[in-house]
Amino acid sequence: MNNNQDTWKNRRYNGVRGLAELPYFELTEHGLLRLTVDEMQGGIDAHVHFALNAHHGPKPDLLKSHPKTKYYVNTDGVISLNNYIASNQTPQDISNMLVSILGSLTPAGSPWTETHTIPNLIAEMDLLNIEKAVVFPIAYGFPYGDDISEWYLDSIERFGQKDRFIVCGSVKPTLPDAVERTRQLEAKGVRGIKLHPNFGFFTTDDRLAWPFYDECCRLNLPVLVHCGLIGRENPDLEQAVGYTGLHADIKYFPEPIAAFPNLRFVLCHAGSIQFIQAVELAKKHRNVWLDIQGQSVDNIRTMVSELGPERIFFGSDYPIYPVSYMLARLLIATEKDSTVRRMLFSENACRFWGI
């Protein structure tokens, strides 16, 4: 690849299989991507999920293997690597994803989430030299059926490969029981707490969340937060499925980050299209880390250049996307610096999680 000319910038790849045109991958007989870069071993994917069924939604068998993972996105669509990742989705793709999420919360279920299981993720990890994955449940704040954290923990225990996962819990931090819920999850073995303002209908600067942040400090649990706008928010459609893309606006993040300097905050998606603001927050506050999920090749390079590589992770957001979607971006962005490549692929996460 001629990186001096960055010929990939204007390239469009035909789905996941098209990424095999890059010098980092080969296609298996089943049409999946296998990593072929020898120096890339022991990777850590800092941002994955299993099925997100809750509320009235049926719970898929997370121990079941499926021939094919049904990702939330259309993996046969055209891919550009130099845009925010959601820009590759058509309006129909986004509508399908929201309908699938709605199905996972209702008795009808979702044919997508049935395949979002532990063995399906591990199969993908093994092809791409990913040793461990940091697993995020999402707490919606429902009065019942909101036990995804325990479901994940129990399923991983029964599957028998606990060493492959770093499991986080999730709470809605503005609820009256958020502190007690956090204590319960920590006692069950979670390593951090995931927040999703859009699904939980809260903002991170809500003072009702302050006791929760205090408790996470006391328990030394990092807080990992869905962060930033994607530029394609659709309030009318989102309201219909019980979601708002506006609560994750980065404008809500500076106050809690400054108020709790001893609490580590991971800004998931590195602020999405607000990544410049995310980088500035991380430059100002040493307790801020970024995962690169969704970011373009050029944005990853900018993050490394402006912030330095020490507080940046690789993350895929599986099963929204295949793991390879973001791995391809990381590999191109770090083509000229194997040290930075290893830091983002594994070493920073090892240091963060004390591995």
Encode pLDDT of 239-298 as tens digits. Answer: 555 566 688 999 999 999 999 999 999 999 999 999 999 999 999 999 999 999 999 999
Cβ within 8 Å of residue 111, ≥6 positions away: 70, 100, 103
- The CB density around residue 313, as the number of other CB atoms within 10 Å, is 24
Angle at 325 between CA 162 and CA 119, to 5 degrees: 30
Residue 235, domain member (yes or no) = yes
* DSSP 3-state percent helix, strand, coil across the chain (nearest 5): 45, 15, 45
Residue 99, domain member (yes or no) = yes
Residue 19, domain member (yes or no) = no
Identify the residue whose tokens are 């990913």. 130
Of residues 168, 215, 171, 170, the one with CA closest to residue 191: 168
Joined tokens for residue 272: 């999405």
As a whole number of angstroms, the distance between CA 307 and CA 62 comes to: 38
Q: Number of structural domains, the chain?
A: 1
Identify the residue whose tokens are 């929760």. 212
Give how far the C-alpha of residue 9 lies from the chain's centroid of Cα atoms, to the nearest Å. 24
Residue 140, domain member (yes or no) = yes
pLDDT at 4: 44
Of residues 223, 203, 230, 239, the one with CA closest to residue 288: 223
**Is 81 in contact with 11 (CB distance < 8 Å)?**
yes
In sign, the C-alpha dihedral spanning 71, 72, 78, 84 is: negative
Q: What is the mean pLDDT of the chain?
A: 91
More confident residue, 94 or 114: 114
Residue 290, domain member (yes or no) = yes
DSSP letter at 347 equals I
Identify the three-state secondary structure at position 14: strand
CATH code (residue 207):
3.20.20.140
pLDDT at 241: 52
Residue 35, domain member (yes or no) = no
As a whole number of angstroms, the distance between CA 73 and CA 76 comes to: 9
More confident residue, 76 or 167: 167
For the chain, how many residues are written? 355
pTM (two decimals): 0.92
Where residue 1 falls among pLDDT bands split at 50, 70, 90?
Answer: very low
Please give the torsion angle defined by the CA atoms of residues 294, 329, 297 and 99, in that order, rounded to the nearest 10 degrees: -20
As a whole number of angstroms, the distance between CA 286 and CA 260 comes to: 11
Joined tokens for residue 313: 């992770």
Name the residue range of residue 91's domain.
43-353
Joined tokens for residue 125: 């990890």
Residue 225, domain member (yes or no) = yes
Residue 65, domain member (yes or no) = yes
Does pLDDT of 23 surpass 60?
Answer: yes
Which tens digit of pLDDT belongs to each residue from 50-92?
999 998 889 999 999 999 999 988 888 888 898 888 777 777 7
Residue type, 121: L
Identify the residue whose tokens are 């325990």. 150
DSSP letter at 177 equals T
